[in-house]
C-alpha cells in the first residue's frame, strides 16, 4: 500500500513525486516509456537544443557587421541530432537520480486506474498497486486531424518525427501556426529550408498580441505564410488548401509537419471506466486539481487547463499540498491561478507574454491604456543585435487603477525576461510602482521600464 501513485513521469508527474517524497510519503511513479515525458524527450528540450544550434549557425553566418566572419561555414545535422540526444539523456538521468534521492519507486509500463472500494488502484501489466491517493499526469499526444492523404503518408510527420530527420528538408510545409509550428518553421528556415506555414486562423500564435504577430512573421527566415486558409487534402508532399475567398492553392514540400496542437491523453489509462469526468479538453478538475472522484487528482496537459510544462509544475505543487492534507486529515487552501502564467516561443527571434493582450482585455470589457517601446532603446540590445534587429515590448494596464494587466515581448531574450513581467502582474503592481523600480543597466529588460514610462499620465 502506497501513500500516492503517480501516473505519468513528465513534468507534472515527476515534480509531484519528488515533492511527495521530500515530505516523507511512500510514492510509486508509473511511466510507460521515459522519465521526463514529452517535454524532456520529444518536446521542449529537444527543440530548444536544435534551435540553439540554428542560432549559433545563423549568428556566425550574419556576423560580419560585428567583426566576425566564418568562411566555409556549414552545419552538420547529424552532429546537431547527436548533441540533442546527449542533452536529453543527461537530463533524463538527472530525473532518475532525483527519484532515487527522494525514495520514489519507479515502474515502467502503462498504468490503468482501477477504483474498487475504498482503495485507489493502478494496474501495471498484471500487477495491481494500491494507494490512498492517485495523481494522474498522463500528458498529451499530437492532434492529427482527419485530412485526406495525411494518414500513412511518409512525408507527413508530427513534431516527434521531425525531431529525428537525418537532414534539413529543402522544402518544409507546416500545417499550423501555433507555438510548435512556428518554432519548427524558425529552426529550419534559419538552416536554409524554404518554409510554408498554412494556418486556419487569421494570425499566428493565438496568445500573441496582434501588434507583435506581423513583426514575428516578417522576422522569420525563408518563410511564407498562408493565413485564414483551411487544408483540404495532401497528395504526396503537396498540401492543398482553400483561401478566405474560396480559392484553392497549394504548397509543395519534401516534408510536411502536422502541428495543429496537442490533445489530452485520456484513453489509455482508464479515465472513463474509473468514473472520472472527461470533457473534450481533458479530465475535469477544480482549481485545487481535484477530479470528481475523491482521492484522485489530475495535473498538466491531461486536464487541458494550461498545456505548458511550467503550468504542470505549479499544478503539481498545488495537488501535492492537497494530497498531503487529504492523507493527514487536514485541508489545503492552495489553488491554481491562471492570470499570470507566462508563455514563450523560442523561435528566432523569440516571443513571450504574460497576462492579457489588448484584444483579450477588450473582449472582457476592460478599458486599458497601452504603450510600447522598441528593444533598440536598450544599449545592450543594440550592441549585441544591431539597430535593425526586430524587438518590441508592449505593456497593457487597467485604465481605471493603472494596474499592470499584461506584457508582450518580441525579440532576443524574451523568454528569460518574461518571468519578471509575470511577477508584476501576479502581485498587481501599478504603473507608478514599476516606475520606482531599479532595473540593471545595460540590460534588455530595461525596455519594460521604458514602455511603462511611455504610458501617458
Domain map of the chain by residue range?
2-142+263-328, 156-260, 343-453
| pLDDT tens string 256-288 | 999 999 999 999 999 999 999 999 999 999 999
pLDDT for residue 417 is more than 80: yes
Q: Is 417 exposed, middle or buried (0-12, 13-18, 19+ CB in 10 A)?
A: buried
Nearest to 313 by CA among 345, 282, 290, 336: 336
Average of per-residue pLDDT across 215-234: 97
Q: pLDDT-based confidence at 299, cuts 50/70/90?
A: very high
Average of per-residue pLDDT across 31-58: 97
Cell numbers representing residue 130 in the block? 494500491
Question: Phi and psi dihedrals of 370, rounded to 5?
Answer: -130, 160
- On average, the pLDDT of the chain sits at 96
Label residue 266 left, alpha or beta by phi (over 0 means left) and psi (-120 to 50 means alpha).
Answer: alpha
Place of cell 498587481: 428
Average of per-residue pLDDT across 161-172: 96
Q: pLDDT-based confidence at 120, cuts 50/70/90?
A: confident
Q: What is the pLDDT of residue 144?
A: 87
Place of cell 510548435: 180
More confident residue, 118 or 337: 337
Residues belonging to the chain: 457
What lies within 8 Å, CB to CB, of 54 at 6+ separation is 75, 186, 187, 190, 191, 348
Alpha-carbon distance 306 to 340, whole Å? 12
Query: How many helices (H) and strands (E) would you count in the chain?
Result: 13, 24
Residues with catalytic roles: 441
Average of per-residue pLDDT across 169-192: 98
The C-alpha angle 112, 2, 295, rounded to 5 degrees, equals 65
Average of per-residue pLDDT across 384-413: 96
Report the share of the chain in percent with pLDDT over 70.
100
Average of per-residue pLDDT across 23-48: 97
| pLDDT tens string 382-398 | 999 999 999 999 999 99
Domains 2-142+263-328 and 343-453 share a fold: no
In 399-442, DSSP assigns E strands to 404-410
Average of per-residue pLDDT across 227-237: 98
Q: What is the pLDDT of residue 323?
A: 98
Q: pLDDT-based confidence at 245, cuts 50/70/90?
A: very high
Nearest to 271 by CA among 111, 416, 151, 58: 111
pLDDT for residue 207 is more than 90: yes
Q: What is the pLDDT of residue 116?
A: 75
The CATH number of 2-142+263-328, from 3.50.50.60, 1.20.120.640, 1.10.3720.10, 3.90.1150.10, is 3.50.50.60
Q: pLDDT-based confidence at 57, cuts 50/70/90?
A: very high
Q: What is the pLDDT of residue 204?
A: 98
The CATH number of 156-260, from 3.30.230.10, 3.40.50.970, 3.50.50.60, 3.40.50.2300, is 3.50.50.60
CATH topology of domain 343-453: Enolase-like; domain 1 (3.30.390)
Q: pLDDT-based confidence at 119, cuts 50/70/90?
A: confident
pLDDT for residue 456 is more than 90: no
Amino acid at each position: 500500500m502506497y501513500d500516492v501513485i503517480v501516473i505519468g513521469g513528465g513534468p507534472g508527474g515527476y515534480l509531484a513525486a519528488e515533492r511527495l517524497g521530500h515530505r516523507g510519503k511512500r510514492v510509486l511513479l508509473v511511466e510507460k516509456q521515459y522519465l521526463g515525458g514529452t517535454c524532456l524527450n520529444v518536446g521542449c528540450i529537444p527543440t530548444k537544443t536544435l534551435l540553439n544550434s540554428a542560432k549559433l549557425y545563423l549568428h556566425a553566418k550574419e556576423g560580419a557587421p560585428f567583426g566576425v566572419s566564418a568562411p566555409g561555414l556549414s552545419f552538420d545535422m547529424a552532429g546537431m541530432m547527436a548533441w540533442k540526444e546527449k542533452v536529453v539523456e543527461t537530463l533524463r538521468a538527472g530525473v532518475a537520480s532525483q527519484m532515487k534521492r527522494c525514495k520514489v519507486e519507479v515502474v515502467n509500463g502503462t498504468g490503468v486506474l482501477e477504483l474498487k472500494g475504498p482503495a485507489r488502484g493502478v494496474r501495471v501489466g498484471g500487477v495491481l498497486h494500491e494507494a490512498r491517493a492517485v495523481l494522474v499526469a498522463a500528458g498529451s499526444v499530437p492532434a492529427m486531424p482527419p485530412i485526406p492523404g495525411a494518414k500513412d503518408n511518409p512525408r507527413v510527420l508530427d513534431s516527434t518525427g521531425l525531431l529525428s530527420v537525418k537532414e534539413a528538408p529543402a522544402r518544409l510545409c507546416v500545417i499550423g501556426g501555433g507555438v510548435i509550428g512556428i518554432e519548427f518553421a524558425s529552426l529550419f528556415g534559419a538552416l536554409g529550408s524554404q518554409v510554408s506555414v498554412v494556418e486556419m486562423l487569421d494570425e499566428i500564435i493565438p496568445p500573441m498580441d496582434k501588434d507583435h504577430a506581423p513583426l514575428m512573421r516578417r522576422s522569420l527566415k525563408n518563410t511564407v505564410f498562408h493565413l485564414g486558409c483551411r487544408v483540404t487534402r495532401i497528395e504526396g508532399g503537396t498540401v492543398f488548401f482553400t483561401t478566405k475567398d474560396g480559392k484553392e492553392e497549394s504548397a509543395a514540400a519534401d516534408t510536411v509537419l502536422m502541428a495543429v496542437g496537442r490533445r489530452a491523453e485520456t484513453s489509455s489509462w482508464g479515465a472513463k471506466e474509473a468514473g472520472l469526468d472527461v470533457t473534450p479538453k481533458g479530465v475535469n478538475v477544480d482549481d485545487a486539481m481535484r477530479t470528481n472522484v475523491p482521492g484522485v487528482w489530475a495535473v498538466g496537459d491531461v486536464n487541458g487547463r494550461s498545456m505548458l510544462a511550467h503550468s504542470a509544475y505549479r499544478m503539481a505543487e498545488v495537488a501535492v499540498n492537497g494530497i498531503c492534507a487529504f492523507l493527514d486529515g487536514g485541508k489545503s487552501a492552495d489553488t491554481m491561478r491562471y492570470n499570470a502564467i507566462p508563455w514563450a516561443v523560442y523561435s528566432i527571434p523569440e516571443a513571450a507574454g504574460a497576462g492579457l493582450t489588448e484584444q483579450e482585455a477588450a473582449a472582457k470589457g476592460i478599458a486599458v491604456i497601452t504603450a510600447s517601446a522598441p528593444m533598440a532603446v536598450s544599449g545592450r540590445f543594440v550592441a549585441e543585435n544591431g539597430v535593425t534587429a526586430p524587438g518590441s515590448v508592449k505593456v497593457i494596464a487597467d485604465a481605471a487603477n493603472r494596474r499592470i494587466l499584461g506584457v508582450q515581448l518580441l525579440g532576443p531574450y524574451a523568454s528569460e525576461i518574461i518571468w519578471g513581467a509575470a511577477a508584476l502582474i501576479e502581485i498587481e503592481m501599478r504603473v507608478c510602482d514599476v516606475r520606482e523600480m531599479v532595473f540593471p543597466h545595460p540590460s534588455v529588460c530595461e525596455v519594460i521600464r521604458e514602455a511603462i514610462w511611455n504610458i501617458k499620465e
